[in-house]
Amino acid sequence: MANHPEDPTQPATGNPPLDLSADVVTLTAALCDIESVSLDEQRVCDAIEVALAPLDHLTVTRIGNTLVARTELGRSERVVLAGHIDTVPLTKAPANLPTRREGDDLVGRGTVDMKGGVAVQLKAALVTEPSRDLTFVFYEGEEIDSEHNGLLHVQQQRPDLIEDADFAVLLEPTASQVEGGCKGTLRVDVTARGVAAHSARPWNGRNAIHGAADLLNRLTAYEPATVTVDGLDYHEALNATGIRGGIAGNVIPDECVVTVNYRYAPDKTPEVALAHVAELFEGYDLVELDNAAGARPGLHLPAAKAFVEALDLPVIAKEGWTDVARFSAMDIAAVNFGPGDPNLAHHDDERCPVSQLVSAEAALLRWLA
């Protein structure tokens, strides 16, 4: 458990107070300027906790550096609004903190991924009589290994705080479009075997790197499918993302390992995805490294329909993997929606158009009205 300020109405030493009444652009800048690289989220978590404390319509629970704030208004429907409060590391040249305005953009680490979305969450937290009961999750450790993920910690330690939801919105950057569900991701090591020998007498061995040519040819010839799920088109992908082999410059290698990443549509289970890849590489040794299921968008469900209709924005498939999959594993339909171009996430020149921050806030408040 992180340390707390002695006076819960004041931020910890060095934490600038967050003014939730400020406009969403100013609030985004204030959040970004509290540095919170993964595993160093305490200060920003403290600041958010202090800002939420005066809101009588919310009950706030803290787990490590993750906050869950809930309304208990007796509404017929409950929705989760979730966003991570950590960022990837800062750069020195050019410095991407503190934030600055450049024309119509807010520039700085976290403006896209994803403190703009967190600022929108905080503005929504001010709504005292929302049309639905709300559960806000501000969580740590999304940008690093899963074991540090605060949303996972809530699921493990206090699932009761989120499992009663009918729908979830993850405010990851989507350029203020709605991105439904997400694809699954599987990584495997595929190994071509050979026989080691001196490179001066290669006929005494069998070169595993040469033998991997057939493996790579199978990948090159593979035609990924486009799969329609709940009306959205997910483009599958199968690619080599790494290759290693050889132990010395004068030794014929007896092993060549190709790492393959399969991004699969959310109509498939992890087991089906693994079986598909194993069939493609029949005859080779295959080791599963990790396998994270995707998430169906559930756009046919009433809560999802109402969200899409209220926002009146384009809806496309989420082509990557996000934490919406964690909600899907709990049988909670989820979508991605937030300000910022995901193509600029983690860039040294990370920047978000002010107009997207404003429009994302307006769209979300319109839905909650």
Residues forming the active site: 86, 142
Query: Which of helix, strand or coil describes residue 107?
Result: strand
DSSP state of 342: G
Q: Angle, to 10 degrees, between the axis of helix 115-124 and the axis of helix 42-52?
A: 20
Cα separation, 29 vs 16, whole angstroms: 11
For residue 211, the Cα-to-chain-centroid distance in whole angstroms is 37
With CA atoms as reference, report the closest residue to 94 among 106, 105, 104, 108: 108
Amino acid letter at 64? G
CA atoms within 13 A on the CB side of 153: 21
**If you ran DSSP here, which 8-state letter would residue 126 be given?**
T
Distance in angstroms (rounded) separating the CA atoms of residues 55 and 18:
13
Cα distance between residue 271 and residue 195, in whole Å: 32
Are the C-beta atoms of residues 152 and 172 closer than 8 Å to each other? no
Q: Are 166 and 78 in contact (CB under 8 A)?
A: yes
DSSP E strand boundaries for 156-298 = 167-170, 178-180, 184-193, 197-198, 226-229, 232-235, 237-245, 251-252, 255-264, 285-292
Phi first, then psi, for residue 67 (nearest 5°) are -115, 135
Q: 107 forms bridges with which residues in the sheet?
A: 100, 351
Cβ neighbours of 58 (radius 10 Å)? 20
239: its two tokens: 């690619």
Q: CB-based burial of residue 197 (10 Å sphere; 0-12 exposed, 13-18 middle, 19+ buried)?
A: middle
> Which residues, other chains included, contact 107 with Cβ-Cβ below 8 Å and sequence gap of 6+?
96, 99, 100, 101, 349, 350, 351
Q: 3-class DSSP state for residue 78? A: strand
